[in-house]
Chain A
Amino acid sequence: MEELNLFIRSIFIDNMIFAYFLGMCSFLAVSKNVKTALGLGVAVTFMLVVSLPINYMLNTYVLQPGALAWLGEDFANVDLSFLALIMFIAVIASMTQLVEMAVEKFSPSLYASLGIFLPLIAVNCAILGASLFMQQKDFGSALTATVYGAGSGIGWLIAIVGIAAIREKLAYSNVPKPLRGIGITFILTGLMGIAFMSFLGIKL
């Protein structure tokens, strides 16, 4: 039950895009049509689901103060938490390489349309951000961390597909010249964010 609550919360209330603005760069750049947006969204969700449990294990058994106690008495006082950033990013970067190879093999058309943004998932703030939030929130088990990853990923997916659908329709409207392209996208994201705030206070 607690997991379900976390899942719903991370999709709608703590949404990566609307509440924390994580992963905005690719969000803005790859949201020109729904198909590509969906592809990137799925890739990000997958990355989150894979990298969060690994980073959780890493954090619990290696990095936290006293986490190395399982190695013996001498290691009980070791605090490696300052290394967290570099370890997390290393896990994420290598996982990205894996996803990239898989996408290239199974869906060359998606690979071509994602272009530069596939390797850049490694520097997508949503993924590192989720790992850092996971560290901050002190989840009880790897399962909870995975659920959090899945929820955040699906929230990101909903956001990017939504904005891509709006931008496709936007091609037919008369936007003031200086606002065309990126400006109006910012305003739309803001309005969507306000809409998403109506989910605030939902509890299961």
Chain B
Amino acid sequence: MVSKKISEVFFNPFSKNNPVIVQVLGICSVLAVTAKLEPAIVMGISVTAVLAFANVIISLIRNTIPTNIRIIVQLVVVAALVIIVDQVLKAYNYEVSKALSVFIGLIITNCILMGRLEAFALSNGPWDSFLDGVGNGLGYAIILVIVGFFRELLGSGTLFGFQVIPQAFYDLGYQNNGLMILPPMALITVACIIWVHRSRNKDLQEK
């Protein structure tokens, strides 16, 4: 049996307490890597992995970190994990690593990490922290995938690089919406997701 608290820790970040659209953390990468679906998924997995392990490590040493220097300690732990992810990606998937360019390095400064480490890992045990990390990472990945899906589908008519919109449509005069590929449309796509999400969850609306 999974206790209620654990399932809350794990499932809350998916919708009610989503790190991206409710807590508004880690926006930079959501917007920047989602022009295509594949980098979006790789980014989602990388962040989930880093977040889960950083949470566990910080949670294990939480009683020995002096409060004054905790930010530096957290940064060092996160930076070490990100370097590992960066090197692994370079070794096994160079194409995507090139496409993500600096944004893998920028996982270090992804606010989701600092936010979860400060708010959760510093005051909870390793197992809870691990679940919290995976939950929040997946909550982040879901938004990434949704944004990436719409931007690639409408922007280039493909998914994972495969043609999805049939040629017949183009013959009838359908055109790819080139604007979807450009950075500003990422913001507007996220705004639409927030709109839909908040009209379903009225308690999240701001005054």
Interface residues of A (CB under 8 A from B): 18-25, 28-29, 82-86, 89-90, 93, 119-120, 122-125, 127-129, 132-133, 136, 176-184, 186-187, 189-194, 197
Q: Is the CB of A82 within 8 A of B106?
A: no
Docked Cα-Cα span, A124 to B191, in Å, equals 22
Apart from A24-B28, A129-B106, A178-B195, 5 more pairs, CB < 8 Å: A82-B87, A128-B108, A136-B102, A177-B198, A190-B184
Q: Which residues of A contact B183 (CB under 8 A)?
A: 18-21, 193
Q: How far is the CB of B70 from chain A (nearest CB, A)?
A: 11
Docked Cα-Cα span, A66 to B56, in Å, equals 37
Docked Cα-Cα span, A180 to B199, in Å, equals 11
Q: Which residues of B contact A29 (CB under 8 A)?
A: 24
Question: Quick one: given A82-B87, A197-B182, are A123 and B114 in contact (CB under 8 Å)?
Answer: yes
Q: Is the CB of A122 within 8 A of B71?
A: yes
Q: Is the CB of A86 within 8 A of B28?
A: no
Q: Which residues of A contact B72 (CB under 8 A)?
A: 90, 93
Question: Quick one: given A82-B83, A124-B109, are A186 and B71 in contact (CB under 8 Å)?
Answer: no
Scoring B residues 106 to 124 as 1 if CB is less than 8 Å from chain A, else 0, what string do you get?
A: 1011110010000000000
Specify the chain A residue showing the minimal Cβ separation from B110.
Answer: A125
Docked Cα-Cα span, A18 to B183, in Å, equals 7
Docked Cα-Cα span, A168 to B46, in Å, equals 37
Could you list some 24 contacts between A and B, CB below 8 A?
A: A21-B183, A22-B28, A28-B24, A28-B27, A29-B24, A82-B87, A85-B83, A93-B72, A93-B75, A123-B108, A123-B109, A129-B106, A132-B102, A136-B101, A177-B199, A178-B194, A178-B196, A179-B198, A182-B24, A190-B186, A190-B188, A190-B191, A193-B187, A194-B184
Please, how many residues of chain B have a CB less than 8 angstroms from a CB on the other chain?
45
- Tell which of B27, B185, B195 touches A25, judged by Cβ atoms closer than 8 Å: B27
Q: Is the CB of A182 within 8 A of B194?
A: yes
Q: Is the CB of A181 within 8 A of B206?
A: yes
Among residues 74 to 112 in chain B, which have CB atoms less than 8 Å away from a CB atom of chain A? 75-76, 79-80, 82-83, 86-87, 101-102, 105-106, 108-111
Docked Cα-Cα span, A61 to B31, in Å, equals 34
Q: How far is the CB of B133 from chain A (nearest CB, A)?
A: 17
B7 within 8 Å of A (CB atoms): no
Q: Which residues of A contact B184 (CB under 8 A)?
A: 18, 189-194, 197
Q: How far is the CB of A29 from chain B (nearest CB, A)?
A: 7
Q: Which residues of B contact A179 (CB under 8 A)?
A: 191, 194-195, 198
Q: How far is the CB of B155 from chain A (nearest CB, A)?
A: 15
Specify the chain A residue showing the minimal Cβ separation from B80.
Answer: A86
Q: Which residues of B contact A197 (CB under 8 A)?
A: 182, 184
Q: How far is the CB of B13 from chain A (nearest CB, A)?
A: 17
B126 within 8 Å of A (CB atoms): no
Q: Is the CB of A178 within 8 A of B198?
A: yes
Q: Which residues of B contact A122 (CB under 8 A)?
A: 71, 75
Nearest 3 A-B pairs (CB), nearest first?
A: A181-B206, A193-B184, A190-B187
Docked Cα-Cα span, A193 to B102, in Å, equals 21
